[in-house]
């Protein structure tokens, strides 16, 4: 007995936006691809010059536009191409978490990580971990009521 398309139950697949540093994490993600490392295809990458450039508006806009989760990733502290950008990002992360709690967004939907250009396998593991965590949380459907901008 075959099932038609309407009878098939589809599992929730999260939409995840990743804001990444062009010098480290973006290159690490590229290394994962060229090394044929398998990881969840749920992440869409937005390349920034530096994670020090990340702003709370970027994260909130991602959720407002329907993202179920957000990753912010850049160079390891002390290895920033712009000397101290990742230190600024690290300080802002606490503010981001507080803002998300204030808005009623589960802070588990936001993940900060440091991935260097040589850590393609770490990028793959990070994507898989975040995808699984967000999948367990379920879809973020509160975006319709966010309308922050």
Distance CA 102, CA 107 (A): 10
Q: What is the pLDDT of residues 54-80, one digit of tens each?
A: 999 999 999 989 999 999 999 999 899
User: Which candidate, 112, 121, 107, 127, places its Cα nearest to that of 42?
Assistant: 127
Is the CA virtual torsion 89, 78, 47, 68 positive or negative? negative
Write down all domains in the chain, each with its CATH number in brackets.
Answer: 16-137 (3.40.50.960)
Indicate the DSSP class of residue 107: G
Phi first, then psi, for residue 22 (nearest 5°) are -70, -20
Per-residue tens of pLDDT for the chain, all 149 residues: 455 555 455 789 999 999 999 999 999 999 999 999 999 999 999 999 999 999 999 999 999 899 999 999 999 998 999 999 988 998 899 899 999 999 889 999 999 999 999 999 999 999 999 999 999 999 998 766 655 55
Distance CA 92, CA 80 (A): 16
pTM (2 decimals)?
0.89
Token digits of residue 9? 């139950």
């Amino acid at each position: 007995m075959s099932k038609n398309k309407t009878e098939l139950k589809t599992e929730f697949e999260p939409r995840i936006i990743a804001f990444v540093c062009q010098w480290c994490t973006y290159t690490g993600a590229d290394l994962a691809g060229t090394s044929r490392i398998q990881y969840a295809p749920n992440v869409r990458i937005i390349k920034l010059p530096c994670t020090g450039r990340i702003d709370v508006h970027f994260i909130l806009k991602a959720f407002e536009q329907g993202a179920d989760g957000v990753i912010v990733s850049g160079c390891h502290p002390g290895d920033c191409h712009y000397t101290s950008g990742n230190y600024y990002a690290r300080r802002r992360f606490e503010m981001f978490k507080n803002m998300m709690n204030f808005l009623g967004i589960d802070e588990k939907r936001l993940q900060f990580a440091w991935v260097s250009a040589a850590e393609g396998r770490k990028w793959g593991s990070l994507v898989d971990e975040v995808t699984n965590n967000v999948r367990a949380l379920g879809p973020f459907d509160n975006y319709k009521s966010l309308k922050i901008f």
